[in-house]
């Protein structure tokens, strides 16, 4: 078995040696899925995983735009159309200076498994740009988004590829992107998700990733007859996912102690309550400020510059910022402090070594492709409402989201339970996600 996995990874490394994040994501899947393939004749010898690690299509393009000083700026735009076996390509757009092929291929690869887990008919894709929205004016953001869409529009469509938000792409950017798509195509379709409530967006989509992550963690805690009530919770990030994860934790009776951004973290020993969270939302989403400004409003809290929040003692940790933000040392600190549950809101926030430490300690650990799938699942619900030209209520969408997270949890139990009863949610999510895509690929032949 070990040899099978090594031989596969050697081949993938030969082709993608310069893409560390992509290789990291592939390695994690290969280690759990190859043993399953070898045991099941219908998949064995069909090179399904080898086909899955090669994107169906990679689009890379130039994005030229003019900044407020009248200078011409040039950025790179991408869309990775990874796998369309079970539905049109679906996945977010990331605008961040670190965006490159490795980051987007890892995200697109993860998205294929995640979307499969949602049970909705969505293939996987991801895109974005090395454009940095930080410090840009609204007009600069608009000009960039319009320029980006003036090329991307040829490659997407409501039945082909449906982008959405991710880091650096929120409701403001989605508006500008949609506006240019509509103008160029002269049609109003649900080609992007995360739209505003008055023009085709779904209720609960802004909340969905963060809420979904907490619903998933709740399901994991229930297996131990436990809950969020009275728990100390640390959250990283202070963007879309972190904000709504924090909101749901507070609603369920947990105490949120931290939030962060790329400059450091804030620690509020009294807990970040709903009023303080409203302050953070205004600070981040409207004023576009830094998390350090929290301590100006709440001076009893502390700002710890240049660090991540994992050193704070907690029961539950929700990493909701970015990839590889939690390493082995952080994992050991969390474990030594008595942490019982880690549920990933971000994509691949824990390093491989950190996950090994969590598994060794046999705590509850959920990989992002399972626990953050509520965002894309609700995007799927937005697509359905757009096709039906209909709008479900907040409660209807929230109930569907809860059901989907509960179903994903069940799938993880089905495929992830070890002989000693410990649930390896990484293995469970990878195999459950794989099976559905593999069946579709087998049925459709060599294409
Ligand atoms: P936002 O842009 O709204 O927020 C990102 C947050 O993460 C910010 O607080 C940002 O801080 C912080 N961050 C970003 N990069 C770094 C870095 N290199 N080091 C430290 N902190 C960093 O993005 P989202 O909340 O939407 O996304 C967060 C994570 O969740 C990502 O991994 C994304 O892929 C994942 N995700 C998002 C979904 C969605 O629906 N939006 C769905 C599923 C997963 P700063 O402002 O300083 O950059
Ligand atoms: O990583 C993700 O799942 C997202 N950024 C959301 C994708 C989507 O299509 O809603």
95, 222: one domain:
no
**What is the rounded distance in angstroms from the CA atom of residue 237 to the CA atom of residue 259?**
6
**What is the rounded distance in angstroms from the CA atom of residue 141 to the CA atom of residue 133?**
7
CA of 377 to the centre of ligand 2 (A): 8
**What is the rounded distance in angstroms from the CA atom of residue 44 to the CA atom of residue 39?**
8
Nearest CA to ligand 1 atom 36: 346
The domain spanning residue 75 has which CATH number? Answer: 3.40.50.10860
Which of 33, 288, 304 has its CA nearest to residue 173?
288
159, 297: one domain:
no
Can you say how many angstroms the Cα of residue 258 is from the centroid of all Cα atoms in its chain?
A: 20
pLDDT for 136 equals: 98
pLDDT for 299 equals: 98
Q: Please indicate, yes or no, if residue 271 is contained in any of the structural domains.
A: yes
Out of 79, 82, 92, 244, mutate this one to test ligand 2's pocket (max ligand atoms within 8 Å of CB): namely 92
Contact 239 CB / ligand 1 (< 6 Å): yes
Number of domains in the chain: 2
Contact 239 CB / ligand 2 (< 6 Å): no
CA of 280 to the centre of ligand 1 (A): 15
163, 252: one domain:
no
DSSP bridge partners of 127? 79, 93
The ligand that comes nearest to the alpha carbon of residue 280 is 1
pLDDT for 410 equals: 98
Which of 351, 51, 398, 355 has its CA nearest to residue 210?
398
Q: In this structure, what are the phi and psi dihedrals at residue 226, rounded to the nearest 5 degrees? A: -125, 175
pLDDT for 2 equals: 85
Q: Please indicate, yes or no, if residue 80 is contained in any of the structural domains.
A: yes
178, 308: one domain:
no
124, 218: one domain:
no
Domain boundary among 362, 397, 423: 362
Nearest CA to ligand 2 atom 3: 376
Q: Please indicate, yes or no, if residue 87 is contained in any of the structural domains.
A: yes
- Domain containing 170 equals 57-188
Domain boundary among 129, 155, 188: 188
pLDDT for 242 equals: 98
Q: Please indicate, yes or no, if residue 174 is contained in any of the structural domains.
A: yes
339, 244: one domain:
yes
Residue with tokens 């049970």: 119
Contact between 180 and 77 (Cβ < 8 Å): no
CA of 237 to the centre of ligand 1 (A): 6
**What is the rounded distance in angstroms from the CA atom of residue 354 to the CA atom of residue 320?**
16
Q: Locate the ligand 2 atom nearest the alpha carbon of residue 373 and give its number.
A: 3
Give me the residues of the chain with pLDDT under 70, please: none
Any idea what the Cα angle at residue 426 is, between residues 420 and 432, rounded to 5°? 95
pLDDT for 91 equals: 98
Q: Please indicate, yes or no, if residue 17 is contained in any of the structural domains.
A: no
Burial class (CB in 10 A: 0-12, 13-18, 19+), 138: exposed
164, 217: one domain:
no
148, 221: one domain:
no
Annotated binding site: 90, 111, 114, 165, 209, 240, 379
Q: Please indicate, yes or no, if residue 404 is contained in any of the structural domains.
A: no
CA of 191 to the centre of ligand 2 (A): 14
């Amino acid at each position: 078995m070990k040899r099978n996995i090594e031989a596969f990874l050697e081949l993938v490394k030969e082709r993608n040696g310069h893409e560390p994040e992509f290789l990291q994501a592939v390695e994690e899947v290969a280690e759990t899925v190859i043993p399953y393939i070898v045991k099941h004749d219908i998949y064995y010898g069909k090179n399904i995983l080898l086909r899955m690690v090669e994107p169906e299509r990679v689009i890379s393009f130039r994005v030229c735009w003019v900044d407020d000083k009248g200078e011409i700026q040039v950025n790179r735009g991408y869309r990775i159309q990874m796998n369309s076996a079970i539905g049109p390509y679906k996945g977010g757009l990331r605008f961040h200076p670190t965006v490159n092929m490795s980051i987007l291929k890892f995200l697109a690869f993860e998205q294929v498994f995640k979307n499969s887990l949602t049970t909705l008919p969505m293939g996987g894709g991801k895109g974005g740009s090395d454009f940095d929205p930080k410090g840009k004016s609204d007009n600069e953001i608009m000009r960039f988004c319009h320029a980006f869409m003036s090329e991307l529009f040829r490659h997407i469509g409501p039945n082909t590829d449906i982008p959405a938000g991710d880091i650096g792409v929120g409701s403001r950017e989605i508006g500008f992107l949609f506006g240019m798509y509509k103008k160029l195509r002269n049609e109003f379709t649900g080609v992007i998700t995360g739209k505003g409530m008055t023009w085709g967006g779904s209720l609960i989509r802004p909340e969905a990733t963060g809420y979904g992550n907490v619903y998933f963690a709740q399901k994991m805690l229930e297996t131990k007859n436990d809950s969020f009530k009275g728990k100390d919770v640390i959250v990283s990030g202070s963007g879309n996912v972190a904000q709504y994860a924090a909101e749901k934790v507070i609603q369920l009776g947990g105490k949120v102690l931290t939030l962060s951004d790329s400059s450091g973290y804030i620690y509020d020993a009294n807990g970040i309550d709903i009023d303080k969270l409203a302050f953070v939302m205004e600070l981040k989403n409207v004023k576009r400020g830094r998390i350090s400004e929290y301590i100006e409003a709440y001076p009893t809290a502390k700002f710890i510059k240049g660090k991540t929040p994992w050193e704070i003692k907690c029961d539950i940790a929700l990493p909701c910022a970015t990839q590889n933000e939690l390493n082995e040392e952080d994992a050991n600190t969390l474990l030594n402090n008595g942490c019982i549950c880690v549920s990933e809101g971000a994509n691949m926030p824990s390093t491989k070594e950190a996950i090994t430490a969590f598994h060794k300690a046999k705590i509850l650990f959920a990989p992002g492709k399972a626990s953050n799938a509520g965002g894309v699942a609700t995007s799927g619900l937005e697509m359905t409402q757009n096709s039906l030209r209909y709008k479900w209520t907040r409660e209807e969408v929230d109930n569907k989201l809860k059901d989907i997270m509960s179903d994903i949890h069940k799938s993880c139990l089905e495929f992830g339970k070890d002989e000693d009863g410990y649930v390896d949610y990484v293995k469970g999510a990878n195999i459950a996600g794989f099976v559905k895509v593999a069946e579709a690929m087998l049925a459709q032949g060599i294409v």
